[in-house]
């Protein structure tokens, strides 16, 4: 299975270590894939900065390289403020490119979970579904601090 990963431009210098570790271990949003199935990266890029200019064309390149799904990196939801366009990006890519988009990669680090909890960032109902793939449990969140 080939996947593409799009990261928030705030983290464009990120080397992807947590994403790739979670992918190998099938943790966070990667737990939907069987460990018996090989996962490979078909593309890794940033959104291009607000309001996400790279969202319009980078999925096409990833698909040409074999991507069967696209993941938005966890940074889209743990950065402050979280990406206000994330739901729009997901809908756009799924509608235009007919490829599934998964919000999240590695588990939400516990330190971000605490911060956003204190700030009540994710209290709106729509955030329940957005953070669910990467919420996991406290023990695993601490491993990604």
User: What is the CATH number for 126?
Assistant: 3.40.50
What integer pLDDT is reported at residue 64 of this predicted model? 98
Element (H, E) at 42: strand 40-46
In DSSP notation, 43-100 reads EEEE--STTTGGGGTHHHHHHHTT-SEEEE-THHHHSSSPPTTHHHHHHHHHHHH---
| pLDDT at residue number 86 | 96
Task: Name the β-bridge partners of 71.
Answer: 5, 102
| Sign of the CA dihedral running 88, 53, 109, 41 | positive
**pLDDT of amino acid 73:** 98
**pLDDT score recorded for residue 58:** 97
The 10s digit of each residue's pLDDT in 5-29 is 999 999 989 999 999 999 999 999 9
The sign one gets for the Cα dihedral 83, 132, 35, 139 is positive
Cα 43 to its chain centre, rounded Å, is 13
**pLDDT attached to residue 10:** 95
Residues in the chain: 145
Q: How many domains does the chain have?
A: 1
Structure tokens belonging to residue 112: 């971000």
Q: What pLDDT was estimated at residue 141? A: 97
Q: Give pLDDT, residue 120.
A: 96
Q: Which domain holds residue 112?
A: 2-143
Dihedral sign for Cα atoms in the order 104, 109, 115, 120: positive
Per-residue confidence band for 136, with pLDDT thresholds at 50, 70 and 90: very high
Q: What is the pLDDT of residues 39-84, one digit of tens each?
A: 999 999 999 999 999 999 999 999 999 999 999 999 999 999 999 9
Q: What is the pLDDT of residue 53?
A: 93
Please tell me what DSSP assigns to residue 107: P
* Range 127-142 average pLDDT: 96
């Amino acid at each position: 299975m080939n996947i593409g990963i799009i990261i928030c431009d705030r983290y464009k210098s990120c080397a992807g270590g947590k994403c790739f570790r979670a992918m190998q271990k099938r943790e966070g949003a990667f737990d939907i894939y069987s460990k018996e199935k090989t996962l490979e990266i078909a593309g890794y890029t940033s959104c291009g900065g607000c309001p996400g200019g790279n969202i319009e064309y980078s999925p096409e390149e990833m698909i040409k390289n074999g991507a069967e799904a696209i993941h938005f990196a966890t940074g889209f939801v743990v950065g402050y403020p979280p990406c206000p366009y994330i739901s729009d990006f997901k809908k756009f890519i799924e509608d235009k490119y007919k490829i599934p988009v998964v919000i999240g990669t590695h588990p939400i680090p516990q330190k971000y979970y605490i911060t956003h909890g204190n700030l009540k960032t994710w209290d709106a109902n729509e955030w329940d579904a957005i953070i669910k793939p990467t919420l996991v449990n406290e023990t695993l969140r601490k491993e990604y601090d």
